[in-house]
Amino acid sequence: MVIVISGCKTKKVIEHTGPLPDRSKTEILTALSNHNYDFEWYACETSITLDTPDEGVSGKSYIRMRKDSIIWASVKKLGIEAVRTLVTPKTYIAANRLEKTYQKGSTEDAFAKMGISLDFMDMQQAIFGNIIIPDSNAISIESEGEHYVVKASDQDLQLKYWVNGYDLELDKVKMVDYRGREINIDYSDYRTIDSGEKVAFYRHYAMPYNESGDAEIFMKVKKIEINIPKKTRFSISSRYERIN
């Protein structure tokens, strides 16, 4: 599940000079809204590194989603498929091809075990790169270095967005739930893909994992396709052992 939510150039660092541009509240909120795109299908190919208190692994990941319906992912190591996962709003199933085992269960329960206050649709939006757009009447904005920091709340989540004051790109997101658990996301290396959307090709996620600590996911996106239907085949061999 962690691998699923978890982009091929080196992270690009741009140094801005001169005073922070004077941006209006409308400009900053428009920049946040422009960060989001609607989609029916989403597919991406990424290199991915996962660090958890239990292990650290790297490989190539293929992620496919149909909005409100499916999250499908395949992770390969040295060209061999290691894990394939299929998640729906109600259930998930993950097969470990190397160890010939699989897990199956409730999506809601899996999110709860990870300590994440998001549902299936929220997770799809996070994978795509979309964010929660706060009510303009319930936000505060302050400058911090080269950023304008937008603070807001959405139900039980406290939101914090770092909008670059120079190019108006979203560089960082922080979400804190009512228990104080945090999800932090860093975005960079924005590129315009063939279908016209401008998306971040480098992403870093930090989120709750278990009682021992947090998980970090580093993604370097190689390719993104939007609204092109994809196959999401999934099968489990009868020889695989089910584990908890």
Q: CB within 8 A of 22, min separation 6: which ones? A: none
Mean pLDDT of 188-194: 94
pTM of the full predicted structure? 0.83
Average pLDDT over residues 113-136: 84
CA 6 to chain centre: 6
CA distance 132 to 125: 9
More confident residue, 19 or 14: 19
Average pLDDT of every residue of the chain: 88
Q: Are the C-beta atoms of residues 24 and 168 closer than 8 Å to each other?
A: no
DSSP string across 146-162 = TEEEEEEEETTEEEEEE
pLDDT tens, residue by residue, 50-94: 898 887 888 999 999 999 999 999 999 888 899 999 999 999 999
CATH number given to 2-9+28-227: 2.50.20.10
pLDDT digits (tens, 9 = 90+) for 82-105: 999 999 999 999 999 989 999 999
Over range 10-33, report the average pLDDT.
Answer: 80
Domain segments of the chain as ranges: 2-9+28-227
Query: Please, are residues 169 and 147 in contact by the beta-carbon 8 Å criterion?
Result: no
- Each residue of 130-181: pLDDT tens digit? 999 988 888 999 999 999 999 999 888 899 999 999 999 999 999 998 888 8
- Please check whether residue 219 is in contact with residue 7, taking contact to mean a CB–CB distance below 8 angstroms: yes
